[in-house]
Structure 1
């Protein structure tokens, strides 16, 4: 059994990342089988509960108010509508339901009270409920936990060194502080990043280094390939190759063996064979549904076909506690 380590060096991670790719996949698949059931994949659904109009300047995001994109701003959805969407997701096979709001940070107001009601409702359905609402304090994290929140997503996006090239409206420490507040409230941590934003390999390694040297590894690590959106500063970025995604997934799997490694944004541009290689390299979670917040994602039917062809089986909700 591979030991869980929080003292990885950048050099060690770089060495793993740069292993010949077939050898890397084999090594990651071996680690994966020591800590997870092979062929078991968690299906998650992500819903935008409040879209657009965000004051941040994240260069990849079509929801930033300052960019001219096709995203239509809409206020926070009503609780009943969200519960209905969660039921649809559950009926289609999702066991985790994540709600995203385009906020810079959580504010203690009626909107936050509404989100707490949504969390209670989804939790009562027996699904793992996750939120991504921007920065939050320890007190707010505690309120979410008390309402039944299972996980909180707050991505690091990239390395600390490259972060300022992508976002200037907050700093890296703000991100880490939120992760600390989530951890203190005993909420499961979901944190990963995006590749294909113009970063160097050293930035990808830097981000993995930060995640793998946190006091506890995130329980879930989403690996996103940039989906360039017209109107954002990164609209002309070239597509990330599947081999780059595989290197990220396999390296994350080896250095954070117990984490769910999530094949996230960018999956819509991958063939079935490319996705199969990602599962082989240690990915064991996907987002299902036709949208990831505001960008396209494979349809449920396509995913059901893929599960049949690859003989994957869906992971049950709350499996870690069981």
Structure 2
């Protein structure tokens, strides 16, 4: 594949389907080639995700165990104390993480004392020299600016699925609400983390449509998480089949080819993947994984930090090390 070191923002659905449906070995080879042209192939960013407020969400996302309307075993947890969050962030840094993401099960950010506490958390984590990321639900432009002023580096707001399939998964908000939040984040000068979930019952065309929305944005998301559905008992999708590893590999490879400069994050679902299967994902262009304390990723099982570090060692990979300046405000 010819490398022109330029980014495209005008992909057609047909072009993306042609990439996605290539013979698997050819697809992975092409993605690995692109990956090496834009990134150091032996580096993987370790990102730690902490749920700072768990459960009780009024949304009806069919995959999510934190939705209040579903009967799951997940316990509601109020917003954690700021000092507790900072301690978690310090531990994450000590364990090799260069990015720390704080998640709150909110539909949207409200201008209240809880948001003031989030601002304090962002300032504290930023002071540790980590890239600070938040995922808090819908966000106004003014709220995004407050987060940026506090030192927020990235905001996560996944599309989840295609615009066409979106209403089958969520009814309490619209696809355009997600796009609006991403636009507000961009206006504030915060980097964007946005990807989606496969295994929701969507078609390959839906997967491609989601990637096309991301790849045709005026500026590609700096981070693109690819999640395999974590089937949570008590949610409408609890009986969906396990995502096939080759589907994950195809999604990661396609994302890498069409958004070559982005960090492609191998996210939820790793607990059901063998080390060999994860190695295929790294070969296909994934260069970040999420870890979580107590072997959880938010509220679903996840490999432990020591297990992940051993895997990276086995594969000849190493944690990406970033300088403190990376945690400063995005330009």
TM-score normalised to the size of structure 1?
0.98
* SS of aligned partner of 2:102: strand
Partner residue in 2 for 1:302: 307
Partner residue in 1 for 2:143: 140
Contact 2:129 2:324 in 1 (8 A): no
Task: Show structure 1 runs of 5+ residues with no match.
Answer: none
**Alpha carbons of 1:211 and 1:311: their partners in 2 closer, same or farther (altered >3 Å)?**
same
Which of 168, 175, 179 pairs up with 2:178?
A: 175
Q: Runs in 1 of length 4+ with deviation above 6 angstroms?
A: none
Partner residue in 2 for 1:227: 230
Which of 85, 96, 102 pairs up with 1:93?
A: 96
2:117, 2:309 → 1: CA distance? 33
Matched, 1:112 2:115: yes
1:181, 1:291 → 2: CA distance? 30
Shift of 1:309: 0.5
2:263, 2:153 → 1: CA distance? 14
Shift of 1:321: 5.5
Partner residue in 2 for 1:26: 29
Partner residue in 2 for 1:281: 284
Aligned residues: 322
* SS of aligned partner of 1:100: strand
Contact 1:43 1:288 in 2 (8 A): yes
Partner residue in 1 for 2:316: 311
1:319, 1:165 → 2: CA distance? 42
Shift of 1:318: 5.4
Which of 8, 11, 14 pairs up with 1:8?
A: 11
Matched, 1:201 2:204: yes
Partner residue in 1 for 2:268: 265
* SS of aligned partner of 2:220: coil
TM-score normalised to the size of structure 2?
0.96
Task: Show structure 2 runs of 5+ residues with no match.
Answer: none
2:326, 2:127 → 1: CA distance? 16
Partner residue in 2 for 1:77: 80
Partner residue in 1 for 2:56: 53
1:183, 1:20 → 2: CA distance? 36
Report Cα offsets for 1:139-189 as digits up to 9, x if no partner: 000000000000000000000000000000000000000000001111010
Contact 2:129 2:325 in 1 (8 A): no
2:68, 2:85 → 1: CA distance? 24
* SS of aligned partner of 1:99: strand
**Alpha carbons of 1:215 and 1:156: their partners in 2 closer, same or farther (altered >3 Å)?**
same
Contact 1:96 1:317 in 2 (8 A): no
1:42, 1:53 → 2: CA distance? 31
* SS of aligned partner of 1:152: strand
Report Cα offsets for 1:97-146 as digits up to 9, x if no partner: 00000000000000000000000000000000000000000000000000
Matched, 1:190 2:207: no
Shift of 1:320: 9.3
Shift of 1:317: 2.8
* SS of aligned partner of 1:160: coil
Contact 1:128 1:318 in 2 (8 A): no
* SS of aligned partner of 1:189: strand
